[in-house]
A and B are shown apart, each in its own frame.
Chain A
């Protein structure tokens, strides 16, 4: 398709190169430097889509991210929904179509890469318009470390959209020189296509850099598509410009109705005419620039409709010289046209009253209601806004330390003022950082500003169409109108936040860039209160939408969370282990043989450990080295039982509680020396218990001479378990006398294997005779294979966490965090024997004496045996009991407790479970019921130790 609306020359597009793209199935051409919007406008196409709920045609209404109309879905190069035609840079092969308000996520995985960079600077300048460039130059010249980020494809900001001159030359020459100068400073980072979208505490600013989309298919594969910059700036300078604001009138949403400044941008930056016949409707002087520039470019400007009674005498004169009719004291009351505006309805306007009007033919209607400073980053940083009644806009209302606003974002009206203000603000920031400005910090000479005629603040034109505001659109993306605001106010809503949520204004993907202040103004009018009192809704990040993929960066898939593996991981993989996640650890859950499911594998592994010998990779067990003259004192205060009496060479099981008396972890403690212990924690409790020990040692007992160090990854641990374990360990470590008398239960011995230090401990988490083998991870595979070799005659069987859990549950050993939930005391677990009576105090002791902790109806750990000998009770199942008459109590049926662990037992030849049951120990022998799949399964309450309750097996 041709581009009849492309000007013969001018603009920033590369006319020598033509790119092809497809929109709504139709082929178009454009140039590098175009946006999708400018290329479509060049072809004469304004309509992009239909609106979300009313289905009204909608077109391009602005030139950048504030556009509420031109929502598109990109299909090629990669599917991405909810983009704006005005911000999609044209690339060869682009395929897109218009979106009626809602998009569709890609159904294929995103193959692009995303990443993040941390960057620390003295001064971060957001926005490379005149004020931002002036600020960045001042900071760079002073030798500060500077970052300058700007969301457009090239620097210049508003200068890209106009014909301004600096130093008696086109202003863009100064922009080019400024960019070149910044590039010469080694401490300056200058990013274009980088949108600062979030401003947080302490100078933390997030920016999204779009790195490859504009390159289309030519994008190098090694580059990440988008990058999140995490700036930490000692000082942030916000130079984000201003958004033009429309005026609301009836049928103000038709394609061809556009902000006046946007038309100027399309003309000067992209060499595109928005139409052939224009009407310009304004409340201020700025739109006259658009009218005059379009006139010079060959557009027939039918009329400038100025709502101010006197208009602007100076600009009227300019228009008259050009032959443009100016209608002062007039407004646009409505429009005609369906898929494109065909007429503007213009009427006299005085004292808020609209007179009789007439229709003026046009194919584009340009609107300006004034300018809203883009205060988003200031406001996100919790800066307070102030309503400026002269501007009809909210401006920064206070000074913040470390963040300042400059240029038109601060309400500065003209080019010379913006340049000077950028320099001033940068100097103030440098001064706060004790950085002296450079001697030569010259600003370009800007034309003397002309004082404009005062603007009129006009939010909306009274609706004379009879539609009562129901076609006067405030938020085009949400199809929300003046009538909707009136309905909200009529319903009694006073807060602008409530009006927003009632009408949904400002909740679409543009977050109210054009509609927000209009809503404040119209709401204030309807309520009869000052706009300052209505205020604005809260500005929240992100300023423009950010894809989750960009936020995730590289933290996806396997890199989402670190994976911890033991030194034996490759061996487990080769052995066909099925893994489970335990915290960040990958642990073998079971090792299925061909044809085995988990149940069969676990029964086989359990039988091996109870009748022959099994071996487990227990390396994930938490290990804390506690050293110092007061190590025993610390452990005495933290464990419920006595550790100071433990002999060197011995091992003791211990329980730790919080101050509330509830169990937080358990494990064994090896005394390595008078002043040194090795504390073993659960896999999941390792970090938490180290924190716990350090917290008490630092905050309550800083006088104790003790240090705690994690050594979890310094030792691998292999429990060798079962009646034949003594044979295996004895064979591999011949220097150790493994006889029961020489190496009794709950003792440890050091030895060596080929010169490598090895520690052996008689610790059992299964009730079986067992030896734990500790060695440096470098030797893990070698030692593991020696043990397997020595165990081959006995059918040594590697087992995983599932078998470990069954074996320990059969013995009634609780897993803290599975069989407990933070409301369980040692006494509830039947471990009163592990609570010292001798120690005057330890953490948790006082709470045991609380009345509630003495309650005999507390939930206690017991065993459950399903009477049918078949049902494996689902963990988490509730437990109920029948009344004396054999019936369930009426609902709500009281819950006695729940199943905490449940397995099939090879040793018992039936399923069993552990459970927390109210007054459980007094119910031993009773039958209670567990609902499973809609039926009540009778279960017998037993003691928690179901296998070898006498403890006869632990010594072999």
Chain B
């Protein structure tokens, strides 16, 4: 069972968290102005990369705050957690972490 570092509470057991899917998919400014296809892209389409993925997480059994994280979908490793109002980290900002079991 992983530890996930809530930006507000610190490291907590993964069972305290809920997954919220891909991050940085904002609600469209003018849904009425979108074509059906554009709207369907917002509603249904998400990336599914192998490797780094910016995701939304909710510390639902803790402080109940939402936050974003960059996680490697191949290793499950959280490489960065950040607040919703922080920009998405650039790949160059992320350290190449060693395969590990701690922290």
Residues of A within 8 A of B (CB): 199-204, 232, 234-236, 381-382, 398-403, 659-660, 691, 694-695, 698-700, 702, 840-841, 845-847, 849-851
Contacts and interface: CB of A to CB of B under 8 A. Distances in A.
B101 A403 contact: yes
A203 B101 contact: yes
Contacts of A849: 32, 36
Given A840-B32, A847-B39, A699 B101 contact: no
15 contacts: A200-B2, A203-B102, A382-B99, A403-B102, A695-B58, A699-B20, A699-B66, A702-B84, A840-B32, A841-B31, A841-B32, A846-B32, A846-B39, A850-B36, A850-B40
A851 B35 CA distance: 11
Contacts of B84: 698-699, 702
Contact of A402 (B31, B39, B100): B100
B10 to A, nearest CB: 13
Interface string B1-31: 1110000000100000010100000110001
Interface of A is mostly: mixed
Contacts of B76: 201
B65 interface: yes
B99 A400 contact: yes
Contacts of B58: 691, 695
Nearest to A380: B101
Given A659-B42, A698-B65, A700-B26, A201 B32 contact: no
Contacts of A201: 1-3, 76, 101
Given A702-B85, A846-B32, A398 B99 contact: yes
Contacts of A700: 26-27
B50 interface: no
Nearest to A701: B27
A847 B27 CA distance: 13
A702 B86 CA distance: 13
Nearest to B100: A401
Contacts of A399: 98
Contacts of A398: 99
Contacts of B44: 660
A871 B36 CA distance: 44
How big is chain B's contact interface, by range? 20 to 34
B73 interface: no
Contact of A400 (B18, B27, B60, B100): B100
Contacts of B42: 659
A787 to B, nearest CB: 36
B22 to A, nearest CB: 12
A530 to B, nearest CB: 24
Contacts of A401: 98-103
A398 B100 CA distance: 10
B43 interface: yes
A860 B45 CA distance: 27
B46 interface: no
Interface string B28-71: 00011010100110111000000000001010100011100000
Nearest to A429: B102
Contact of B101 (A381, A660, A847, A851): A381
Contacts of B34: 846
B100 A659 contact: no
Contacts of B99: 382, 398, 400-401
Contacts of A659: 27, 42-43
A685 to B, nearest CB: 16
Given A203-B101, A695-B58, A846-B31, 8 more contacts: A201-B101, A202-B102, A202-B103, A401-B98, A401-B100, A659-B27, A691-B58, A847-B43
Nearest to B27: A700
A129 B42 CA distance: 59
Contacts of B103: 202, 401-402
A412 B37 CA distance: 63
Nearest to A845: B31
Nearest to A696: B27
Contact of B102 (A234, A699, A840): A234
A266 to B, nearest CB: 36
Interface string B65-103: 110000000001000000011000000000000111111
A202 B101 contact: yes
B3 A202 contact: yes
